[in-house]
Amino acid sequence: MYKKVCTECSKPSYSSCETGTWLCPVCGTDISRVNLQAPETRGIPGRLEYMAAGFPKVASLSTERELV
Q: Which residue has the higher pLDDT, 66 or 2?
A: 2
The answer to whether 41 touches 49, Cβ cutoff 8 Å, is no
Report the pLDDT value the prediction gives residue 22, as an integer from 0 to 100.
94
Q: What is the mean pLDDT of residues 35-39?
A: 81
| Torsion sign (Cα): 50, 55, 56, 61 | positive
Report the pLDDT value the prediction gives residue 16, as an integer from 0 to 100.
86
Comparing CA positions, the residue from 50, 53, 41 lying closest to residue 2 is 41
Tell me if 60 is assigned to some domain.
no
Tell me if 42 is assigned to some domain.
yes
Tell me if 61 is assigned to some domain.
no
Classify 53 as helix, strand or coil.
Answer: helix
In the predicted structure, residue 33 carries a pLDDT above the cut 90: yes
Tell me if 53 is assigned to some domain.
no
Q: What is the mean pLDDT of residues 13-38?
A: 91
> What is the Cα–Cα distance from 13 to 24, expressed in whole angstroms?
6
Tell me if 27 is assigned to some domain.
yes
pTM confidence score: 0.55
